[in-house]
Amino acid sequence: MSAALGSYPVAADYIALLPAFIVAIVPLLLLFVDLFFRGQGAVRRGVAVAIAIVGLIVAGAMLAEQYHLPGYAAFGGAFIQGGFSIVFSEIVIVATIATLLLSVGVGRDDQVAGTTSLLLWSASGAMLMSGAANLMAVFLGLELLSLALYCLCAMSPRRTARESALKYLILSSMASGFLLYGSALLFGATGSVAFAALAKTTVTPLLALGAGLFLVGLAFKLSLVPFHAWTPDVYEGAPLPVTAFMSIATKAGTLAVLARFAYAALPLDHASAILAPLWVLAALSMLIGNLAALSQTDMKRLLAYSGIAQVGYIVTAFAGQTTLGLRYAILYLAGYMFMNLGAFAVVALMARDGDAVVGLPRFAGLAHRRPLLAAAMTFFLIGLAGLPPTIGFTGKILILTTTVSAGYAWLAGILIAGTAISAYVYFKIVRAMFAQADPKHVRDERSRTTLPWVAVAVCAVATFALGLFPLTPSNILPLVK
Amino acid sequence: MTVTALVLGPILIGFALYAIPRERAAAARIVAAVVAAVTFGLAVADPHAADVSRHWLARPFDASFHLGFGPISYWIVLLLSLATFGGALALNGPRARNVAAQLLILQGAMNGVFLAKDLLLFALFWDLMLIPVFLVLIEIGPHARAAWKYLIYNLCGGLALLLATAAFGAVAGTTDVIGRANVHIMIGDVWGTWIFAGFAFAFLVKTPVFPFHTWMPETYAELPPPVVAVVSSVQSKAGLYGFLAIVLPFLGPEAARAQTLMFVLGMVALIYGALAALAERDSKRVVAYSSLSHLGLILLAVFSGSALAIQGAVVYMIAHGLFSAVLFLVLGAVEQREETRDIARLGGLGARNPKLAGVLMLAALAALGLPGLAGFSGEILILTGVFKAGFVWPAIVALVAIVLASAYMLRLFQTIMNGPEVPDLPERRDLTWTEALAIAPLVAGFVLLGVNPGRIVDVAAAAVPAASLARNSDFIQVTVEECGLVLDGVEEPGCTTLSKDDKRVRRPR
């Protein structure tokens, strides 16, 4: 057993965090190796990305091996390594690998090692969050994740990139402030930072206030309505691979914290009262996210709003705090990752350097010029719209069922309404691709690398296969020890 | 195996068609027609094909990839093969390869809808069959409006179906229920109403029925005739099939409560559709509104609770599928030659196109319910059944609508084929042999069915959902448990007919 809080950590504690450490240490190696490849453009990019991917795969394999072991607590319960954290970490790792495939062609030669390293550091933060079981660990993971992202957002020659980074810095810091204040109040109310201890206390106004502020901080990071306003602007300005990464990894890490907090850190008899506002936020996100997406013409903004709504669907699955709901939320998150990254990969393939402003007009007539690409995009959009044969469909019906069973039929109804609105959002793009286009107005670009095609293929297969065989993690409990 | 091939075969071959170069549209057409013919052959050769089932979900409810023939669905699959065959052969015009591919995908998806024995699988194919039609609408149709209307209306229906399916699964614990008369599903009053509302909305939109029908005339007008032949012939039956296969067996009390509402909707559809068809000048829209009217009649029959009327409904579903496909194919042929669908601009085509005129006449006669053709067999059963069940006024309204059907069908024929020839119409070619080949099986179908509807009536008798609208349980006579296909009067072993005492009637409190 690991050491109690206050005593010295032992080897087992570090072993629990080893995969996250690997992801954090590989960048140092990568930056060092990069020094030997100066002036060799393509090779230099290839080496940096290859090292990063190998590191991620090693970490992923280590995690996968531990999946069947019973969960155990490290650092006195600050970090729980178990099925739950492993599944979330694997989602982060897959998302990071896909992001790296998209980012090979983006940016200057001498920047690639830097962006890759920052991506990995950010990913290690998300991995830390997926296992974090006390308030300190949550904050540590969140800041590691965010600090790297502030830099990543700025790493683009576009003027909007700096605007995006600054916006993200300020608003995200504010969110962290909420989170920290909430944590402080929770500590004040209970005298402990551990989630397990929070669940055992009686409810005082101080605890409720702390929990509320903590949730507001998380909602900011998840960009739930009404805390979503920063998302489209930041997504639009950031380089495309970074946007793709933010849309998955940040959300995966934050959802892990939210799930653990909602399921395990609140006194059982009052949890539903404290969490009630969360379902309202989810409902608002599903409706307003999709409504706002209706009028978007820039792909990144559109996917940002779509992501707001999709997170709403995932949070809906938490309603009633059923174990099945948690499993389906994880399933849908994985599915959303594949569908969304697939869509981003298609967008990356449509710009020469993998990061141009891709608006709706660029899709006009795509099906007649690049049928395979259009078919892939159609498939991902069908999935995001919740139509079969994709995980979007299967995941949604699972979430609907568990939400209805848990007694939140109204939330299920809003999910359906949001999905109905979203059909127009996604099929607008399908329509543009398949309709006749005037060739004069169409600017066709191809990305310099074909690597994003790997991401497209993997995402398409996964979207389809998960739809038919919805694998959900079974040994995700216990969430705290 | 057969049933899997019927669903997956057309879908996979449909995708493979995109490998054929765009210019070789003729090849794509022939492949599609051959696939449709093969599916027809498969279904005819193996009417007792075993169900195929693979476990899908264990939680939160049991669901399987369960496909198999049912008494009604077997005939609809045959109908769909014929309609697809005709549609594929009649394809021409721009992007024929893409349309052929989407037609096959549509056929596979619709086979899935009718063969699914699991509600969730049913919902999956239900949503899947939207996509090919939407893609054809945006690729071919000049106006995006029709595509959006089609998509939004039907997707809302599909989502209601999905929510109802989720709730059904949550309450019943399994969705692997279609066609299982021996499964006892008890759905409480609170949930039952909502689940019924979800299903009913989805099915009413798809059929369509009066307040939800506005997508239909536009969609039918914009779709290329071969595709609209398939959509009107088979897709419009999906909702009615859903009422028969899902709502009546499992949500009988709720259906009984909604009987009055459904009767009103059906009667409004009957009269409104007929009047609109009388007023319309666009030939495709005339047939579209006539479908609205005819499908309203089937809705009446389904909710009358009379076994006889439901048998008639099944016969009429098949019959309407056959003659509406012929009508759209013939009108498509006319449109292609004369470049207009406006019946006011057409006239006198019959003189130079006797074959075309003959086929249109036959189809129109079938549609208006001439004895000896398929439409009559269904109508007479429905009218008798509805009347005997004690619904006098609905029967009278239906009769009025049937009289109006003669008026608009004959008006359609007359203005296009009779009268003085219009001089400036571009081309006067009679039916080509490909078109004749496309139409012939469908015509043969409704003539045969008109002469001898007995087979389908027998099958329909087996399919009548037991104890369905048994509010008073006076007029339910037939109860058949777990019965497979009854072809040629041969009953499957293990197929037991229950006596009246064994009825599993849920009496409302």
- Interface confidence, given as ipTM, is 0.92
Task: Return d(Cα B479, Cα B502) in angstroms, integer.
Answer: 8
Amino acid at residue number A348: A
| Helix, strand, coil share (%) of chain B residues, nearest 5 | 70, 5, 25
Is there a contact between A404 and B131 if contact means CB atoms under 8 Å apart? no
Amino acid at residue number A323: T
Task: Return d(Cα A197, Cα A4) in angstroms, integer.
Answer: 14
B158 contacts in chain A (CB < 8 Å): 387
Q: What's the pLDDT score for residue B508?
A: 34
Task: Return d(Cα B351, Cα B363) in angstroms, integer.
Answer: 18
CA distances from B246 to A106, A119, A416, B126, B242 (A): 54, 52, 21, 14, 5
Is there a contact between A416 and B131 if contact means CB atoms under 8 Å apart? no
Backbone angles phi, psi at B282, to 5 degrees: -80, 120
Beta B496-497 vs B480-481: how paired, if at all?
antiparallel
Query: Regarding predicted confidence, which is higher, B408 or A353?
Result: B408
pLDDT at B498 over 70: no
Neighbours of A143 (CB within 10 A): 17
Q: What's the pLDDT score for residue B184?
A: 62
Amino acid at residue number A17: L
A468 contacts in chain B (CB < 8 Å): 56
pLDDT at B157 over 90: yes
- Any CB–CB contact under 8 A between B102 and chain A? no
Q: What's the pLDDT score for residue A243?
A: 94
Backbone angles phi, psi at A4, to 5 degrees: -75, 165
Q: How confident is the model at residue B462 (pLDDT cuts 50, 70, 90)?
A: low
A393 contacts in chain B (CB < 8 Å): 124, 127
B135 contacts in chain A (CB < 8 Å): 430, 434
Which string of DSSP letters, residue by residue, matches A415-429? HHHHHHHHHHHHHHH
Question: Can you tell me the mean pLDDT for B4-20?
Answer: 94
* The dihedral sign for the CA sequence A425, A429, A431, A432: positive
Q: What would the two tokens of residue B135 be?
A: 């893609």
Which string of DSSP letters, residue by residue, matches A156-194? SSSHHHHHHHHHHHHHHHHHHHHHHHHHHHHHHHHS--B
pLDDT at A368 over 60: yes
Query: Regarding predicted confidence, which is higher, B427 or A455?
Result: A455
- Any CB–CB contact under 8 A between A273 and chain B? no
Amino acid at residue number B112: G
Is there a contact between B127 and A393 if contact means CB atoms under 8 Å apart? yes
pLDDT at B474 over 80: no
Question: Can you tell me the mean pLDDT for B291-315?
Answer: 91
Is there a contact between A416 and B194 if contact means CB atoms under 8 Å apart? no
pLDDT at A3 over 70: no
Is there a contact between B60 and A468 if contact means CB atoms under 8 Å apart? no
Burial per residue of A46-56, b for 16 or more beta-carbon CB atoms within 10 angstroms, e otherwise: bbbbebbbebb
Q: What would the two tokens of residue A475 be?
A: 């040994």
Q: How confident is the model at residue B478 (pLDDT cuts 50, 70, 90)?
A: very low
Q: Name the β-bridge partners of B55.
A: B64
Which helix (H) or strand (E) segment holds residue B63: the answer is strand B63-67
Is there a contact between A404 and B135 if contact means CB atoms under 8 Å apart? no
Q: How confident is the model at residue A359 (pLDDT cuts 50, 70, 90)?
A: confident
**B contact residues 461-480, partner A, Cβ 8 Å cutoff:** none
B169 contacts in chain A (CB < 8 Å): 401
Q: What's the pLDDT score for residue A318?
A: 95
Q: What is the pTM of this model?
A: 0.92
A420 contacts in chain B (CB < 8 Å): 152, 155-156, 159
Q: What would the two tokens of residue B439 be?
A: 């139409």
Contacts of B285 (CB under 8 A, 6+ apart): B217, B220, B221, B276, B277
Is there a contact between A400 and B127 if contact means CB atoms under 8 Å apart? no
CA-wise closest residue to B153 among B94, B107, B217, B105:
B217
- Any CB–CB contact under 8 A between A423 and chain B? yes
CA distances from A444 to A116, A162, A381, B93, B367 (A): 28, 27, 21, 28, 51
Backbone angles phi, psi at A81, to 5 degrees: -95, 115
Question: Can you tell me the mean pLDDT for B366-390?
Answer: 90
Q: What would the two tokens of residue B30 be?
A: 């022939």
A329 contacts in chain B (CB < 8 Å): none
CA distances from A371 to A365, A443, B34, B95 (A): 9, 16, 25, 14
What value, to the nearest 5°, has the Cα angle with vertex B234 and ends B25 and B320?
115
Interface test with chain B among A332, A401, A434, A468, by most B beta carbons within 10 Å: A401
3-class secondary structure, A80: strand
CA distances from A205 to A195, A202, A208, B256, B294 (A): 18, 10, 5, 52, 65
Is there a contact between B144 and A431 if contact means CB atoms under 8 Å apart? yes
Residue that is written with structure tokens 């609907």 in the block: A400
Q: What's the pLDDT score for residue B182?
A: 61
Task: Return d(Cα A263, Cα B254) in angstroms, integer.
Answer: 38
Cis peptide before A478 (omega within 30 of 0): yes
Is there a contact between B167 and A435 if contact means CB atoms under 8 Å apart? no
CA distances from A386 to A304, B156, B359 (A): 17, 12, 43
Neighbours of A286 (CB within 10 A): 29
A396 contacts in chain B (CB < 8 Å): 162
Interface test with chain B among A330, A369, A387, by most B beta carbons within 10 Å: A387
Is there a contact between A413 and B163 if contact means CB atoms under 8 Å apart? yes
Q: What would the two tokens of residue B94 be?
A: 């721009």
Q: How confident is the model at residue B492 (pLDDT cuts 50, 70, 90)?
A: very low
Q: How confident is the model at residue A201 (pLDDT cuts 50, 70, 90)?
A: confident
